[in-house]
Amino acid sequence: MYKILVLLTLFGAKYVESQEKINIDVFYEALCPDSFDFVENQLGPTWNDIKDYVNLNLVPFGKSAIFNGGTSVQCQHGQRECEGNRVMSCALHKIQDPSTAVHFVKCYMNRFIRYARRDRQEFGESCVTKAGLNWNLDVKQCYESQLGTRLQLNAENQTNTYQPDFIPTIVYNKVFDQGLQDESLYNFKSTACTLIKKQYPQAC
Ligand SMILES: *[C@@H]1O[C@H](CO)[C@@H](O)[C@H](O)[C@H]1NC(C)=O
């Protein structure tokens, strides 16, 4: 029985790898309550059911704008939000496992929104550690260097491709669709699963 299960598992994994996964891009920003709501109540609870079929791309930028090649940044909810976006860009750059990325963003935004007046490190470090990273080596050094700027410029570039009206914006397979966007905010699971099932009938 055990051997059969192992074979089925291996076969299942191969089957998934041999097909194109569904791309899901999430454009969000650090101090946006709707973004946190999406991560906490839609993406978070759904992730386990869809993770085998999805390439997830979390893009922390939203309605920000970078000026002068990165020397100045403006964010929808103020400078503090720019800090949070940049911290998340740095951490996500280092996190390899998408499930860890989802947990990290949920953990980080929860603290970031609740503890508005504390400094970056105080609320960020525990989530970074939980994600298996080192605050100083993996996040602080990146945050304070050109790498942090490059990652945010890249997030801006990706975000501007879709020029989102609303944050968070969820894009499936690199094409924005207003119907899927609206549905995703209150029923992400069924929205994502409907698409996934077209390619992977056994999924969800
Ligand atoms: C993003 O970067 C690519 C490559 O540099 C460029 O061709 C493209 O126009 C940029 N897109 C936006 C929306 O800025």
154 lines ligand 1 (CB under 6 A): no
Rounded-to-integer distance, Cα 113 and Cα 128, Å? 16
Q: Kindly report the pTM of this predicted structure.
A: 0.89
Closest by CA to 77, choosing from 28, 146, 110, is 28
Residue 161 Cβ inside 6 Å of ligand 1? The answer reads yes
Token readout for 89 is: 């860009």
pLDDT in tens, the chain (204 residues): 444 444 444 444 444 455 689 999 999 999 999 999 999 999 999 999 999 999 999 999 999 999 998 889 999 999 999 999 999 999 999 999 999 999 999 999 998 887 766 665 667 889 999 999 999 999 999 999 999 999 999 999 999 999 999 999 999 999 999 999 999 999 999 999 999 999 999 999
The DSSP string of 53-111 is GEEEEEEETSS-EEEGGGTEEE-TT-HHHHHHHHHHHHHHHH---HHHHHHHHHHHHHH
Angle, helices 146-162/79-94, rounded to nearest 10 degrees = 100
Domain ranges of the chain: 22-189
Query: CA-to-CA distance for 133 and 91, rounded, in angstroms?
Result: 8
Q: Which amino acid is at 28?
A: Y
Report the atom number in ligand 1 closest to the C-alpha of 156: 14
Considering the domain 22-189 in this protein, what is its CATH number?
Answer: 3.40.30.10
Which of 27, 59, 157 for a ligand 1 pocket mutation test, highest count of atoms within 8 Å of Cβ? 157
Evaluate: CB of 160 within 6 angstroms of ligand 1.
yes
Quickly list H helices, 65-97.
79-94
Answer whether 145 contacts ligand 1 (Cβ < 6 A): no
